[in-house]
Each structure stands twice: as C-alpha cells, then as structure tokens.
Structure 1
Amino acid sequence: MDLAGLPLSPKQIRSIARSQNHRFSIWSGAVRSGKTIASLVAFLIAMAQAPSSGLVLIVGRSLQTIERNILDPLQDYALFGALANQVQHTRGATTATILGRTVHLIGASDSRAEGRLRGLTACLALADEMTLLPEEFLNQLLARLSVPGARALGTTNPDSPSHWLKRKYLDRARELDLGHWHFTLDDNPVLEDAYKDALKAEYGVGTLWYDRFILGLWKAAEGAVYGMFDESRHVVDIVPAIQQYISLGVDYGTQNPLHAVLIGQGVDGRLYVTSEWRHDGRATMHSLTDMEYSERLRDWLASLRPPGSHTTGVHPKYIVVDPSAASFITQLHRDRMYPVPAKNAVLDGIRMVSSLLASDKLLIHRSCTELIREIQGYVWDPKAALLGEDKPLKSTNADHGLDALRYGLVTTESLWRRQIEEVA
C-alpha cells in the first residue's frame, strides 16, 4: 500500500503504527487537526490485514455524515493518490467497495439503531463522530467484533468530561486495550498559519468551543453560554446600509413571549440584528391570536425605515419560524408571508452564534434591548453538565429572542456564509 505521497506528521505516523497493537483505537481532538486522516490511513492498513471472515463496517451519525467525513476524503485523489480509485460508492447506497471488499455503512441517529447490528459478525469497524453515537449502539458494535483479530477504530471531537465515551472508554484505556491519541489544531502539518489563526479567532480564546475544537480538550459547558459577548464590542448605535435583509427569525408563544428579530447583512459584509419585536402575553395579561400576531408583525415590518433610506418598509428574504408553531405557520401562509420552518439543532445554532460573536461578524443594534438582556443572562444548565450533556438552562422568558436569532441564522446560512468569510 503506497502512502508515500500523503503528508503525515510524526504524531500521525506514530498513532497509525501503534493503533495496530490495540483492539480498539480512538483519535480525538480539535477540528481540522489531522485525526481523521490518521484514522483513515489506519483503517486502510487494517482492511488490508483484516480477517477474511466477518463484515467490515463504517458507522456514523447518518449515511450522509459517513459519505462526507469518510468516503469523500478516501476518494480524494489529492490525498490518497491511486488508492482513491479503489474506493467505489454510489451516493445514497448503504454499501461501498474498498480495496475490493464490501463495506457496510450504518447510520446510528438514535438508540433504536442498535438493532441494526444484532446477529451480524464483524472483523473491522470504523466509527465516525463517536460522541454523537448512542452508547447502546457502540456497546453492541464492540460485542459484534468477535472474529479473532477483529479491531475497531474511531474518531471524535471532545465533549463534556462527563460524557459516557470519556468516562467509560477513554478514562479506562489501559484496562480496555484501547489506544487513544489526542490532537490539537496545531498538530495538522498541512494547514497554513493564516488559516489556523482565522479558525482560532472564529472560536474565540477562552470559550468552550475554543477549548474543545482548537485545543481538543474535554471541557464541561459551564457559566455563560455566550461568554465572548461584550456590549462594548457587539452592540452598535448605528447600523450601516443593509445590502440584504436575510431573515426575520420568529420564536412563537401564546402565554410565553413571541419574539421576532430582523437580521440583515451590511455593506461591510457583517451581520446585524437591526430590530426586534416582542409580545409577552403573560406580562401584558393579553394573549394574541395567530391572526393578530401576523397582522402586527406585518405592520411592524412595514413601519421600519432601513438605514439611509427615506422610505419605510422592510422585506426579509425569509420568515423563519419555530418549527413547532404549526398553526402560526399556517396563518402566515394565509397572509402571503410564506414562512419556512426553522432548523432547530440547538447546539449547532449556539456554536454558530458563538463563532460569529467571537469573530465580530455579528453585531446588534442597541434598540434590541430584550435580545441583549437575554444574551447576558443565558447560562448552561449545571445539572445537565453532570450528566455529560450540553444544554442551556431553560427559562420561560429569557431565551425566546435567542431562539429566534438561531432560527434566522442557521436556516439561511447559505445566503450569507460566503460573504462573511471574506470579512477581515
């Protein structure tokens, strides 16, 4: 197997060589740190040496993540040269052919996925994004590696130190015949310093995400969710001309508040929360119907005057609404506002907002007083942290604007991501 052209660091080479001495090997650490490439090389070597009996498996959160994180790199000629031609896969298929051998691709999005492993016998498995796999699934996977000489390889970004993967596997590496290699961003030999510096700035020194995704540390989510938020940096009195109003993010409530935030992209390329609208039925002792909410939001948008404009009226490209608000979404359709249900992956949204704040690419107009108040009081749930989970502390009236902000940004990322990356 010719891997001479692949740029590997001494650390990657050592991990690949030493992984052959363990039944189970895990590469953990920062994003873009080189851990995945090391695991893929180790997997190809393991495939060439694998017992002839038993199945070869690649498992991950979903078939799509397996294709993106594992198969696409393996088929990259720039990385693997002629070996890339020995990886055949049809998009969407649940098998691939690697080095002439059939490989079964198994997505594991919840605990029910454990049933997909029952009854099979495996000789080799590669597990992607292990902290996202159900614990029961990994337990069953290891039990299925029953062929003499069978091995498991896996990669993961770090999570909470209380996460089951850390407590039950990494912390018990010696007694489990488990090889573990930790990588930081600076361990990747092919990344340019300018890219590393940009990535470090994006996550923000001292934040949860910096410690996990730059330093590769298993750190608990504690304290402020948006600890990088600084009113003197992130709150502005003047918004520049807006080249496009990207979205109106809406978190829906009847007794709880309905909170809407208007997000635009300025001529400087940055994102701005230019305005907010909020109605708290509990505080005002007056709940509004879906029809009344729709009417008031439309009147509010029509009354807004964009910066530098002499006319009123704002028309965001998307009205992005809490996906659970089915009746309100129906009402907006009736009123020809054409809403879209929001993508609601909470942690992904929090990471996105954190990154934008840390790199000063998301700013908030001072008139958005409720959103600013919520950001400053948003904290991680300490009880969830003890269980190895990352969850913000839920409040009845202190996170609706933040939910609306997540909705409006995550769901429309394709509209603004490229321009944001060009901002110095």
Structure 2
Amino acid sequence: MIINPLVGKQRASFELSTARLNIWDGSVRSSKTISSLMRWLKFVRTAPPGPLLMVGKTERTLKRNIIDPLIEMLGKQRCRLAAGAGELHLLGRKVYIAGAYNEGSSDKIRGLSLVGAYVDEASTMPESFWVMLLTRLSIPGAQLFATTNPDGPQHWLKKNYLDRAALHLDRDGQLHRHHGDDRLNLHRFSFQLADNPNLTAEYVAAVSAEFTGLWHRRLILGEWVLAEGVIYESWDPARHVVDELPGITRWIVMSMDYGTTNPFHALLIGLGVDRRLYVAHEWRWDSKKQRRSLTDAEYSAQVRAWAEGLGIRPAYTVIDPSAASFRVQLHRDGWSSVLADNEVVDGIRDVASLFATGRLLVSDQCPELIAEIPSYAWDPASAEKGEDKPIKVNDHGADALRYGIRTTRAIWHGQLAEPELTAA
C-alpha cells in the first residue's frame, strides 16, 4: 500500500493530537482514519512500556476497518493478528483487541491498566464501556486516539466529550482553543470530504449520491444533527414503484417480520438482470383484520405455500430475531433460515442508500409495504435522548425490508449497478 504524505488538516491533526484524549470526527472517506492511524503508529513506537488496546464495535469490524489496512500498509512481519488470541502484534508490541457491542463489553477490559488505546467508531459503543476505558488509561503518559462518524446532537459522546474539548480544529479548518473548568484534556479534529486530497471529483459525486437527508448531513457534511421526520426521504413512488419486473437472475431472500397480535409481513427480494434489487412480492397476515390468529405451524405452512406457489425458493430466509419459535417450526418443516441482523440504524442506512441511488425498487404487487414507507418516521422522543429509533407504528413491512437487505448485504454488495447520481 502506498501512503501519501499527510497534508493540510491531516498533518495538523497529527501534530496537534497531544492530549490525553484525541478524537477525529466527521464525514466518511474524509481521511480521518488514516490520519488517526498514522498518529497511533507513532504512539505505539514511542509510548512508555505498558499494555495497549484497540477497540471496534465488534472484533470483526475492527479487523475489516482497521487491522486489515494496517497489515496491508506495514506487512505481516510488522503487523500480525494472532487469530483467536485477541491480540495484534504491531511494530514489536502486543496490542489487545476487543469489541464493544453492548453494556456487558466493559467486562472485557475490567482490571486492565493501559498506556494507550485506539477506538474505531466510538459513537457506536455504550457509554459504560467508554467510561470504563478511560479509567483503564492509568499509566503515566497514557493517551487515547479515536474516530467517529457524527450521530445526533444529544449523543453522549458529543455532549459529554466533544463539546468539552480544550482544542478544536473545526470543519472549516479553524483552530479554537477553549479554557474553563468544564474543559477536558481532549483535542477534537472535525473532517469533511474536502480534507481528503486523494478523492477524485467523480468519486465524491458517487459517494455523495449514496446518502440523502439525514445521512447526507451526517456522513457527507459531517454534521451532528437530529434524526427527525420521515426516514426514507428520497422515496418517490414515481421513481421507486414498478408495474413490471425484469428478469430475476437470483432470488436472494425471503425476509419476515413476525407478529401474532401485530401483522406478520413477508417479502421476497431478488436481483434483476439490470443489477438492481427488487422487492417483488409480499405476504401479510393481520390477525385483527382476519379476526384469527395463526400458530407457528400455520404460519410456516402458509408462507411456504405462498413462496412455492410463486415458484420461488430464495437463497436465504431471514427471520425476525424475536421469532425463535417460528424459526424452529420452519426447520422442522424442512425450510432453513437465519435470524436477522437487527442493527436498526445500519439496516435503515443500507435501505436509504439503495433508494437514493435507484438500486432498490418495489413492485406494485406490494401495496402494504408501499403504504408504510412514506409514514416510516423517526421517533422524536428517542432523538431527544440521543438515540436513533423509528416510531413503532405501521412498520412491519419496513422492518422486514431492512432485515432482508441488511442481513444479505454480503451477497448483493458488489453485484449492483452503478449508483444514479441524483442525490442532492
């Protein structure tokens, strides 16, 4: 891997990251990660003796986002992952690695005394883990280096830490030094796409087109803004609803949102010959309208008969994570399935990006889903608490959609047409 010299804000953040806490925030692809990694490597070479730690949302995402690029950059002799041991051998030093997925993750580092830590995707981890991590940085000279994309303005990382930085290199490149009892020994560096000189205009246009509304403001403009209003802001029935399907080259997934008192909603999603994803068919049972609840065995029989009647056996069947008993019933009936990836915001972001770029379309044979999408909205009460959550009303088809798209991302990612550059 060829690493270009750091320039502009990249170099400034490298030189100014001398605080106990140093955090790079802002747009995707804005070079905040490479800037922070170069600074981390310098710290690893020169830090006092003591344990080091690298953290991601999960160990898998840490490997993909950070460790694999480090191995490519440095070579396997200077950067080697000890598979299964939870250790990275980096520039002659042992570095522990950990995922911080939930509240229980803080137990992984309890009792450690650290001289340094690197954190990827800091805003995705629980505050309890972050607080525990700061208490573990107890060896004299200890420093933390972290990156994050923006979230809501009430997020704990922004309110309790970023807003209290003693030094801030802002999005416009202006340097601000703040004084006062409420200030932390923290240096903050806010990045935008323009801070990465290696991006072509064509690439900037392409990545910008993938996000609209909330995601455009956060991930492209680097703003910490509330999740408010409708979720799929680019949704346009004239653009996204089709009355005729193209040839389907692969039926990727049947995804289901399970309900007993609430509606049960199933979708069939395929990859078209035009390299776009199509929500082609839906099946829905609303016990209140039908005035009869179905058992798991009845659901299994009916949904299998529906798919088989269409002549479709998808590669994957994705089940609502709350429907473990229904999954057991399907297995007994000879139909294998997996529980859905229920990372709500990640799933919504995937669907929003596909709608924005014209690579996810919906057949007019899915009227219930089409009716739900325009009213699928962010919960303002959750937003005020610093959480991004949809309102849990009339969301069964929308939930099934994000289950299917997010869980099979590894299958369709890389198979789709180039994005339509229509986003603002």
TM-score (norm 1): 0.90
1:324 to 322, 329, 345: 322
CA distance in 2, matches of 1:401, 1:47: 49
Q: 1:57 is paired with a residue of what secondary structure?
A: strand
In 2, the alpha carbon distance for the partners of 1:140 and 1:314 equals 50
2:398 counterpart residue number: 402
Are the equivalent residues in 1 in contact too, given 2:276–2:417 (CA < 8 A)? no
SS of the aligned residue for 2:413 comes to helix
Q: 1:142 to 1:299 in 2, by over 3 A?
A: closer
- 1:16-415 equivalences under 5 Å are 16-20=14-18, 22-52=19-49, 54-77=50-73, 80=74, 85-174=77-166, 175-204=183-212, 207-304=213-310, 313-395=311-393, 398-415=394-411
CA distance in 2 between counterparts of 1:211 and 1:261 reads: 31
Residue 198 of structure 1 and its aligned partner are, at CA, apart by 1.3
Whether the 8 Å CA contact 1:269–1:423 is kept in 2: the answer is: no
Could you tell me how far apart the structure 2 residues matched to 1:412 and 1:115 are?
Answer: 31
Question: Could you tell me whether the CA contact under 8 Å between 1:39 and 1:153 is conserved in 2?
Answer: yes
Distance 1:142 1:341, change over 3 A: closer
The Cα of 1:338 is off from its aligned counterpart by: 2.5
- 1:380 partner SS: coil
Pick closer, same or farther for the CA change 1:360–1:37 going to 2, 3 Å. same
Distance 2:269 2:226 in 1: 31
Change (3 A) 1:290 1:149: closer
Cα distance change of structure 1 residues 127 and 367 upon mapping to structure 2, 3 Å threshold: same
* Range moving further from structure 2, 351-360 or 233-242: 233-242
Measured in 2, the distance between the counterparts of 1:324 and 1:8 equals 48
**SS in structure 2 at match of 1:165:** helix
User: How far apart are the structure 1 equivalents of 2:419 and 2:121?
Assistant: 30
SS at 1:226's partner residue? coil
Tell me the CA shift for residue 387 of structure 1.
0.8
Task: Write the distance in 2 (CA, Å) between the matches of 1:272 and 1:61.
Answer: 31
* TM-score, reference length from structure 2: 0.90
- Structure 1 residues 92 and 212: CA distance shift in structure 2, 3 A: farther
Q: CA deviation at 1:130?
A: 0.8
Structure 1, unpaired ranges of 5+: 305-312
Alignment CA distance shift 1:369-1:218 (3 Å): same
- Comparing 39-48 with 381-390, greater Cα deviation is found at 39-48
Q: Secondary structure at the match of 2:405?
A: helix
**Post-superposition shift, 1:37?**
0.6
Once residues 42 and 144 of structure 1 are traced to their aligned partners in structure 2, the CA distance between those partners, rounded to angstroms, is: 20
- In the alignment, is the contact (CA less than 8 A) between 1:61 and 1:109 conserved in 2? yes
Does the 8 Å CA contact 1:95/1:105 hold for their aligned counterparts? yes
What letter matches 1:163 in structure 2?
H
SS at match of 1:407: helix
Task: Describe the shift of the 1:338–1:116 C-alpha distance in structure 2 as closer, same or farther (beyond 3 A).
Answer: closer
Write the letter of the residue equivalent to 1:420: L
Percent identity reads: 49
Deviation at 1:220, TM superposition (A): 1.1
Q: Distance in 1 between matches of 2:128 and 2:335?
A: 44
1:356-383 alpha-carbon deviations (Å, 9 max, x no partner): 0000101111221110111011111111
Q: 2: distance between equivalents of 1:60 and 1:244?
A: 34
Shift in CA distance, 275/5, structure 1 to aligned 2, threshold 3 Å: closer
Cα drift, residue 347 of structure 1: 1.4
Judge conservation of contact 1:111–1:136 (CA < 8 Å) in 2. yes
Distance 2:339 2:136 in 1: 40
Deviation at 1:178, TM superposition (A): 1.1
Partners of 2:56 and 2:305 lie apart in 1 by 47
The Cα RMSD (Å) is 2.1
Mark the CA change 1:316 to 1:122 in structure 2 (over 3 Å): closer, same or farther. closer
Contact 2:27 2:218 in 1 (8 A): yes
* Cα drift, residue 275 of structure 1: 1.5
Separation (CA, whole Å) in 1 of partners of 2:267 and 2:299? 14
| Equivalent AA in structure 2 for residue 139 of structure 1 | V
Structure 2 alignment gaps of length 5 or more: 167-182
- Deviation, 1:235, is 1.0
Q: Deviations over 1:329-376 (max 9, x none)?
A: 222223333333222221111111101000010111122111011101
C-alpha separation between the residues in 2 aligned to 1:113 and 1:259? 34
How far the C-alpha of 1:5 sits from its partner, in A, is 5.1
CA distance in 1, matches of 2:2, 2:335: 58
Report if the CA contact (8 A) 1:245-1:317 is conserved: yes
Partner letter of residue 43 of structure 2?
A
Aligned to 1:309: none
What letter corresponds to residue 228 of structure 1 in structure 2? S
- Structure 2 counterpart of 1:399, which letter? D
Letter in 1 for 2:201: D
